[in-house]
Copies of this chain bind each other. A is one copy, B any other.
Amino acid sequence: MAEAPLRQTPHTTVRRAERGSQDRGLAHAILDEAFVAHVGFVVEDQPFVVPMVYGRVDDTLYLHGAPGTRLVRTLASGAPVCITVTIVDALVLAKSQLHHSANYRSLVILGRATRVGGAEAERALRAVVDHALPGRSGEARPPTEQELRRTAVLAVPIDEASVKVRTGGPVDDDDDLSLAVWSGIVPVLTVFGDPLPDAVTGDALPVPASATSAVQR
């Protein structure tokens, strides 16, 4: 079943139309592959951008944090937020300096957060843990009532949003094509190393599936 497109507004209209998209499936794929979001909010006219882990359940993005932080207080108050997730796929080397570029996939979500609790908060926290480590929430101890009280869970709808994608090689000016300058791309990859147990675990336990699945991505 085709998914409804992301909501396009003047804020989420990409200026270079050939790079923009409102494809919801692509947005989900970017969110699922990356694992750090840059969360923007405003306090007294000053923007702040904070890196955060996140989880996704269907069309909702979840963040969490200590209730007293500037980010949580601001988002929980219903202030406008911008959440950007970026995956860099390659450096693009052109024959001229100014046509150098990068291949990337990025998603910008605009909206307002809502603080959630109860079963939704617990499900959200599992989604955060499982996001980069599939199945990990089933291996680790679940949160206690006290831990849940000390943790704010914020939900942001994945709705007013836009995807930007650049792929392919450099786009050089015709007059530059005969220059003896190497042009092409250098791929950029995020890879996971071998899991390293801490001193408490040592070699007493096998490496779990969650940590191995991260490596195999």
Contact = CB atoms under 8 A, between A and B. Distances in A.
B140 A181 contact: yes
A31 to B, nearest CB: 15
A177 B170 CA distance: 53
A192 B50 CA distance: 26
Interface string A122-137: 0001101100110011
A67 to B, nearest CB: 12
A84 B51 contact: yes
B215 A36 contact: no
Interface of A is mostly: mixed
Interface string A57-88: 00000000000111000000000111110101
A93 B40 contact: no
A119 interface: no
A197 B183 contact: yes
Number of copies of chain A assembled together: 2
A82 B48 contact: yes
A23 interface: no
12 contacts: A47-B80, A49-B83, A91-B211, A95-B141, A100-B128, A183-B198, A183-B201, A184-B195, A185-B195, A186-B192, A186-B215, A187-B196
Contacts of A68: 15
A174 B57 CA distance: 32
Contacts of A45: 42, 80
Contacts of A183: 197-198, 200-201
B181 A141 contact: yes
A201 B178 CA distance: 9
Nearest to A88: B36
B182 A187 contact: no
A11 interface: yes
A38 interface: yes
Contact of A97 (B38, B143, B184, B194): B143
B200 A186 contact: no
Contact of A86 (B36, B88, B133, B147): B36
